[in-house]
Amino acid sequence: MNTINRVLIVGGTHGNELIGIYLIRKFEMKHHLIAKSSFETVTLLANPRAYEIGKRYVDSDLNRCFRREDLANSSLLSYEAQRAKEIYQTFGSNCRHPTDFVLDLHTTTASVGLTVILASKHPLNLQLASHLTKINPLVKVLYSPIKEKDNCYLDNISECGCTIEVGPVAQNVLDAALFQATEVLVAAILDYLETYNKGNYSQFEETLTFYQLVDKIDYPRNEQREIQAMIHPQLQGRDYEPLNLDDPLFITFDGQVILYPGISTVYPVFINEAAYYEKGVALCLTERRQVKLKTA
Amino acid sequence: MNTINRVLIVGGTHGNELIGIYLIRKFEMKHHLIAKSSFETVTLLANPRAYEIGKRYVDSDLNRCFRREDLANSSLLSYEAQRAKEIYQTFGSNCRHPTDFVLDLHTTTASVGLTVILASKHPLNLQLASHLTKINPLVKVLYSPIKEKDNCYLDNISECGCTIEVGPVAQNVLDAALFQATEVLVAAILDYLETYNKGNYSQFEETLTFYQLVDKIDYPRNEQREIQAMIHPQLQGRDYEPLNLDDPLFITFDGQVILYPGISTVYPVFINEAAYYEKGVALCLTERRQVKLKTA
Within a domain: residue A143? yes
Say what the pLDDT of residue A294 is: 73
For residues B141-166, average pLDDT: 93
In a domain, B39, yes or no: yes
Tell me how far CA of residue B256 lies from CA of A38, A141, A173, B232, B250, in angstroms: 30, 31, 19, 10, 8
Spatial CA neighbour of A97 closest among A46, A48, A45, A158: A158
Q: Is-contact A161 A125, C-beta < 8 A?
A: yes
Residue A1 lies in a domain: no
Q: Are residues A19 and A161 in the same domain?
A: yes
Structural domain contains residue B174: yes
A172/B274 Cβ within 8 A = yes
CB B173 within 8 A of CB A283: no
What are the pLDDT digits (tens) for B9-21?
A: 999 999 999 999 9
Q: Please state whether beta strands A257-259 and A267-269 pair in parallel, antiparallel, or not at all (unpaired).
A: unpaired
Q: Are residues A228 and A155 in the same domain?
A: no
d(CA B136, CA B131): 9
Per residue in A4-47, pLDDT (tens digit) is 999 999 999 999 999 999 999 999 999 999 999 999 999 999 99
Q: Per-residue confidence at B83, pLDDT binned at 50, 70, 90?
A: very high
A163 inside domain: yes
B137 and B195, same domain (yes or no): yes
Together in a domain, B159 and B237: no
Gap from A272 CA to chain B (nearest CA, Å): 7
Residue B78 and residue B153 share a domain: yes
Q: What is the pLDDT of residue A181?
A: 98
Tell me the CATH number at A171: 3.40.630.10
| Nearest-by-CA chain B residue for A255 | B180
What lies within 8 Å, CB to CB, of A141 at 6+ separation is A115, A116, A118, A129, A132, A133, A208, A209, A210, A211
Strand, coil or helix: A266: strand
Give φ, ψ of A207 to 5 degrees: -115, 130
The Cα–Cα gap between A90 and A68 comes to 15
- Structural domain includes residue B136: yes
Residue B97's pLDDT is 77
Q: What CATH number does the domain containing B249 carry?
A: 2.20.25.160
A251 residue type, one letter: I
pLDDT one-digit tens code per residue, B14-46? 999 999 999 999 999 999 999 999 999 999 999
Same domain, A141 and A273: no
Q: Say which residues have a Cβ less than 8 Å from residue B137's Cβ, sequence separation at least 6.
A: none
- The verdict on B26 touching A (C-beta cutoff 8 Å) is yes
Domain count, chain B: 2
- Helix (H), strand (E) at residue B124: helix B123-135
- Judge whether A286 and A213 are in contact, CB under 8 Å: yes
Q: Are residues B150 and B238 located together in one domain of the fold?
A: no
pLDDT at res. B41: 98
Residues B89 and B201 in one domain: yes
- The mean pLDDT value for B135-150 works out to 93
Single residue among A177, A209, A241 that ends a domain in this structure: A209
- Binding-face residues of B in 202-231 toward A, CB within 8 A: 227, 230-231
What is the domain extent for residue B227?
214-286
pLDDT of residue A153: 95
Helix (H, G, I), strand (E, B) or coil at A116: strand
Q: Is B256 on the interface with A (CB under 8 A)?
A: no
When CB atoms are compared, the residue of A168, A177, A231 closest to B176 is A231
pLDDT confidence band for B294 (50 / 70 / 90) = confident
Contacts of B96 (CB under 8 A, 6+ apart): none
Q: Domain boundary at A209, A240, A264, which?
A: A209
Q: Would you call A168 an interface residue with chain B, using a CB distance cutoff of 8 Å?
A: yes
pLDDT score for B93: 80
Q: pLDDT-based confidence at A295, cuts 50/70/90?
A: low
Identify whether residues A159 and A244 lie together within a single domain.
no
Residue pair A208/A293 in contact by the 8 Å Cβ criterion: yes
**A184-234: per-residue pLDDT in tens?**
999 999 999 999 999 876 656 689 999 999 999 999 999 999 999 999 999
Please name which of B143, B188, B138, B182 lies closest in space to residue B164, comparing C-alpha atoms: B182
* Residue A25 with chain B: CB contacts under 8 Å: 253
Residues B173 and B219 in one domain: no
Axis crossing angle, helix A176-197 with helix A123-135, rounded to the nearest 10? 130
Closest alpha carbon within chain B to A230: B176
The residue out of B178, B209, B240 marking a domain boundary is B209
Residue B238 lies in a domain: yes
The answer on B165 and B69 residing in a single domain is: yes
Task: Report chain B residues whose CB lies below 8 A from the CB of A227.
Answer: 22, 174
Residue B77 and residue B48 in one domain = yes
Asked if the Cβ–Cβ distance from B233 to A22 is below 8 Å, we say no
Identify the band that residue A94 occupies on the pLDDT scale cut at 50, 70 and 90.
confident
Residue B92 lies in a domain: yes
Chain B residue whose CA is closest to A257? B176
Count of C-beta atoms within a 10 Å radius of residue B175: 24
pTM: 0.96
Give tens-digit pLDDT for A242-267.
999 999 999 999 999 999 999 999 99
Q: Which helix (H) or strand (E) holds B284?
A: strand B283-293
Interchain contact, B272 vs A174, CB within 8 Å: yes
